[in-house]
Chains A and B, each alone.
Chain A
Amino acid sequence: MNCVEFRRQLAIDPQMTSADFVQHRAECPRCAEAHARALAFEGDLARALNVAAPAQLAEAILLAQTTAERRRRVNLRRASMFAVAAALVLGIGVVGMRAEAKPLSVQAVEHLESEQEVLALTAPIAAAEVAATFAKRGVVLKQVPDGISFVAPCPVGASKHRSVHLVMPTTDGPLTVIYVADQKVSAAADFERDGLRGRSLPLGNGTLILLAKSPAEFDRVEALWRAAISG
């Protein structure tokens, strides 16, 4: 290997360990020097590329997967029940009927059951991450409320992953906030379901849903999100 060939290899792969590469480096001080500089640059490059991943990335992925898996099983079960019922009525075999859309409040409560793990999170997360998750769904927050311990894209609502799921720990226990960005209820309503208290209200172009064991903090949290979304 000559100097030209060595320098070419150096720019293609500085970690190269082939025998003729190593031999030229041992024999040619100038190329050995270039090799040392190249390795230093590779170290700098590797360090610069090593950006930190979002803190809850693995958890968010696993949640999305287990939720999708549960939904798939529920849908299969529901589809087969419908098929049986329809077959009984019509006297024929029917496959793959679609369940009609449930009200958002019902969807939210059912969804929460499958994502209970996140209620235990208490460490605050970065405002930038919250803002980015909303921005990705076309919602620009005027400000980010304090005290959010979890944020993730969420399947609640008609179109998949147009919602944002958050947890805000309060003195009264964890409060779940779900913002459905592209579906707007006509009026605000409080509800109770499966031992959970809830509130849904139109906000911006979407619907804000609050869920907790007690409604004590609903007014305070609603005000925070009104300021964040409508300003």
Chain B
Amino acid sequence: MSPVSSKQRQFDALVRGYSGDLFRYAYWLCGEEALAQDLVQESFLRAWRSLDSLRETAAAKAWLITILRREHARLYERKTPQFVDVDEVEVADMREALTPEGSGEDALIRAAMLKLDVKYREPLLMQVLGGFSCEEIARELNISSAAVMTQLFRARQKLKAMLGGEPIEAQVYELR
């Protein structure tokens, strides 16, 4: 087997194995399907060019997400719409914004997720979609683990507040 074809096979496996996950990550990062698709495609082209730097297959997903985040920063960061601060959003607004096919609880959570400031949204995506630990998120975002924990805490707090869940026991939840 020539080195070219084994590289191609490794790449095929990565695309088939991770393009779905990467698309979901991209979608929740930029909130737009067409953009997310382009972003995933560009990221995989970049991954192909630097495939030699991927040492262990076990780390492939994290490696791909890192490439995708850089690509996103490079291509789209300036075009990202400003997200409304969560505290100003009424759940009633969200219900109106829903498309007919997107009714139900999933749709409410999706709308809330897209309204979450990217600073809170991204660590949550890394944890829930990427399966990263707080330490891994900290390394990827280049901030402290304590800051990651605070953002994850606030992300869930804000999501639940938007979704009108159980009242938050302020004194119990307060973080310093």
Contact residues of A with B, CB < 8 Å? Answer: 3-4, 7-8, 11-13, 37, 41-42, 44-51, 53-54, 57-58, 60-62, 64-65, 68-69, 132-133, 135-136, 153
Contacts and interface: CB of A to CB of B under 8 A. Distances in A.
Interface stretch (B52-60, B77-85, B87-95, B103-111): B103-111
Contact of A65 (B45, B134, B149): B45
Given A11-B152, A11-B153, A37-B166, A61 B127 contact: no
Given A11-B173, A61-B15, A48 B109 contact: yes
Given A49-B129, A58-B15, A132 B34 contact: yes
Given A41-B165, A45-B159, A61 B44 contact: yes
Contact of A62 (B15, B27, B157): B15
A60 to B, nearest CB: 7
Contacts of A136: 34-35, 38
B53 to A, nearest CB: 17
Nearest first, the 5 closest Cβ-Cβ pairs linking A and B are A48-B109, A53-B23, A132-B34, A53-B20, A48-B106
Contacts of A11: 152-153, 156-157, 173
Interface of B: 11-12, 15-16, 19-20, 23-24, 27-28, 33-35, 37-38, 40-41, 44-45, 48, 105-107, 109-110, 113, 125, 127-129, 134, 149, 152-153, 156-157, 159-160, 165-166, 169, 172-173, 175
A135 to B, nearest CB: 7
Decide if the interface of chain A is mainly helix, strand, loop or mixed. helix
B11 A65 contact: yes
B166 to A, nearest CB: 7
B41 A133 contact: no
A68 B129 CA distance: 30
